[in-house]
Structure 1
Amino acid sequence: MPIHHRWNFNIDRFLNPFVPPPPWKYVPYPVSYWFGYRKTKPADTGNLMPIFWAFLGVFGAIAMIEAVSKHVASFAPHHVPNIVGSFGAAAVLEFYAIESPLAQPRNAIMGQVLAAVIGCGVGKLFLLSDNFEEIKWLGGALACASATAVMALTKTVHPPAGATALLAVVDSTLIQVGWFLIPVMLLGCTLMLGAALLINNLERRFPVYWWTPEDLRQPNSLFRRRHSKKKAPEAAADETKPEEGSERYVSDLEAATDKEAETEDAKHAADIIIKPGHVIVPEHVYLTQEEQQYLETLCKRL
């Protein structure tokens, strides 16, 4: 296996020790309820009611962002549009796919802000060229790719943010907005999050977590790997022939018990086990960060 296939980077290993655990259990329940905290598992709502609430949520959030944008005095001098197109995709995530890791507050806000910073930076860089109109397509590609890489490294992947970075370079209106796009995106994300907390918590639960599905009070992740216990054939052969009286000798009963345990381990070697408090995944199974977060989210809901 090439050495770069074993490279891994987990930013939470460095950030989580400084992130305090959520305070919702210490806040009065009528308040913490609207921030996604539940004492019991939420009831099933079927598949029609989520569609109904998603319709109301998307409509309300988009309309609210547009209405607020019209009444912010500083928006007109900076040529800010009523709404940035990427908020449409963000609304679908935050009001329908509300259990997806991509829709949680860390991703929805930080992903958009990071993408806005990168998009504006790349746009300003390419504007230094006299042939900007001819090469801005290349800047858009660079901005989108860079935003994706940064979001992946920071565990803030939010697909609509890729559109934000792209539009910041190729959209003529947003090019005029410049660095002012960052507070514009921050305001829009905050308004949408406020609407999501209200609409999504009427009959469902949002967010599933604010920063991470891991227990921030524990130093280790909920995510575990099942390590294989393969032995060399020679070693296995030696162990099957222990000499009585030696330190390696075990009784027939103990040997049978060990064999039964090994058989059970082999039977479940390919299983993904989700238990309250931790997730066990076979070592040979590859999971993306989003898939790991989703499994940890399911673990927290048990």
Structure 2
Amino acid sequence: MVFQFNIDKHTKDFVPPNQVKRLPRALGYFLGNNDNGSKQRPDYFIWLEVLIGSFCGILVLEGVFRNPNIFTDHHNAPIVIASYGATAILCFNTNGLPLAQPRNIILGHFSSALIGVCVEKLFSLSEKGRDHYYIGGALSVGMASVLMSILNCVHPPAGASALLPFIDDGIRDMSWWYLPTHLVSSVLIVAVALITGNVIRKYPAFWWTPLNRTPPPPTQEPKEEKALETLVLNAETLQVPKSLSLSEVEMEVLESLQNKLRDYKPNTDSIGSTDIGQSV
């Protein structure tokens, strides 16, 4: 389904264009500035890349959160947030789809996690709310879906990010620290995708929006017809330029000449006869 509202149409003039092409070639290559996307690769090479990328992406997240850090020491962050298993499948298998681009991964997870935490906080204010966490989970997923559609950052695995605060006690105990955990996880998995996804393919397809930022060519306004600058006098026509001001006497002279032209009958036998010309 194509929505009529597209936030990119309203923000494209405020978001700077992609500057990757200005970076050194070696750095820009792993940020998507290459032509790998136009090359056909054997399937087994792509399968190998998907295997390595998915393995390394999840392993990096587990390695970071498994070791002591600010999240694990004080907020009991899990080794890996479960929704990133689905993100890895989407990011490394279908890296050309809009759903797998950096904006969708980072902003999709964060906005969904924000909705999940906010709704969970509201339901936790009362005992009846805590007894109906299942309703809050469904509500948070629905709200996250709408928000991602509005922000043009739909990322299906992010639905789980909105749901986890209601079904996982450890996630609920993290409180607001659940949000920076998502930011770190999203950035790390995108970083791995930039390395593995540009070896034989191209990633990302775009950084912020696929909309064309090239301004449309200026429309040419119809040229105004220039005012007549030539006095035309013949038997049929008498045209005087608008910029030429003539008195009544002068106009009578011109009309008299026009009348003579109407009555004039050229004598082809006359020597030195001249065609008075069709215009003066």
How far apart are 1:218 and its partner, in Å? 2.8
Gaps of 5+ in 2: 218-280
In the alignment, residue 55 of structure 2 is paired with which amino acid? F
What is the one-letter code of the residue matched to 1:71? N
Task: Give the SS at the match of 2:114.
Answer: helix
Label 1:86 to 1:51 Cα distance change in 2 as closer, same or farther (>3 A).
Answer: same
Offset, 1:7? 8.2
The counterpart of 1:127, out of the listed 124, 129, 136, is: 124
Q: TM-score, normalised by structure 2?
A: 0.73
Offset at residue 113 of structure 1 (A)? 0.6
Over 3 Å counting, the alpha-carbon distance change for 1:39 and 1:202 in structure 2 is closer
Distance 1:137 1:32 in 2: 46
- List structure 1 segments (4+ residues) > 4 angstroms apart after TM superposition: none
* 8 A contact 1:111–1:161 mirrored in 2: yes
- 1:201-237 per-residue CA deviation (whole Å, 9 max, x = no partner) reads 01110001001112224369xxxxxxxxxxxxxxxxx
Distance between the aligned counterparts of 1:216 and 1:168, measured in 2? 39
Residues 26-57 of structure 1, C-alpha deviations (whole Å, 9 max, x = no match): 22222111001125753111322222111111
Aligned to 1:152: 149
Q: 1:54 aligns with which of 50, 53, 64?
A: 50
1:10 partnered with 2:2? no
The alpha-carbon deviation at position 118 of structure 1 amounts to 0.5
Aligned runs of 1:80-229 on 2, under 5 Å?
80-218=77-215
Q: Is the 8 A contact 1:148 1:162 kept in 2?
A: yes
* Deviation at residue 8 of structure 1 after TM alignment: 2.7
**1:66–1:41 distance in 2 versus 1, CA, 3 Å:** closer
Question: What TM-score results when the alignment is normalised by the length of structure 1?
Answer: 0.68
Contact in 2 for aligned 1:21/1:215 (Cα 8 Å): no
Query: 2:147 aligns to what SS in structure 1?
Result: helix
User: 1:134, CA displacement in angstroms?
Assistant: 2.4
In structure 1, C-alpha distance between the alignment counterparts of 2:54 and 2:67, rounded to whole Å: 20
Task: Name the CA distance, whole Å, in 1 between partners of 2:118 and 2:162.
Answer: 10
Q: 1:224-255, CA deviations, whole angstroms, 9 ceiling, x for partnerless residues?
A: xxxxxxxxxxxxxxxxxxxxxxxxxxxxxxxx
**Residue 123 of structure 2 contacts residue 130 of structure 2 at CA under 8 Å; is this kept in 1?**
no
1:43 maps to 39
Aligned match of 1:267? none
Q: Which amino acid aligns with 1:42?
A: S
Summarize the Cα distance change of 1:163–1:47 in structure 2 as closer, same or farther, 3 Å threshold: same
From the superposition, tell whether residues 126 and 24 of structure 1 become closer, same or farther in structure 2 (CA, over 3 Å).
Answer: same
* Residue type at the aligned position of 1:145: G
Q: Distance in 2 between matches of 1:86 and 1:206?
A: 21
Partner Cα separation in structure 2 for residue 219 and residue 162 of structure 1: 38
Check the 8 A contact 2:36/2:198 in 1, yes or no.
Answer: no
1:22 aligns with 2:18: yes
Cα separation, 2, equivalents of 1:57 and 1:111: 21
Report if aligned partners of 1:95, 1:200 keep a CA contact under 8 Å in 2: yes
Q: Secondary structure at the match of 2:95?
A: coil
Pick closer, same or farther for the CA change 1:8–1:56 going to 2, 3 Å: same
Contact 2:37 2:201 in 1 (8 A): no
The one-letter code of the counterpart of 2:13 is P
Aligned Cα root-mean-square deviation (Å): 1.9
Q: Deviations over 1:93-113 (max 9, x none)?
A: 111110111000110110001
Report the CA distance shift for 1:178/1:219 in structure 2 as closer, same or farther (over 3 A). farther
Q: Name the % identity.
A: 35
Structure-to-structure mapping, 1:250-261, within 5 angstroms: none
Q: Take 1:213 and 1:207, find their aligned partners in 2: how far apart are those partners?
A: 11
Q: More helix per residue: 1 or 2?
A: 1
Which of the two has higher C-alpha Rg? 2
Q: Deviations over 1:61-92 (max 9, x none)?
A: 11110110122422221111111100000001
**Aligned mates of 2:133, 2:177 — CA distance in 1:** 19
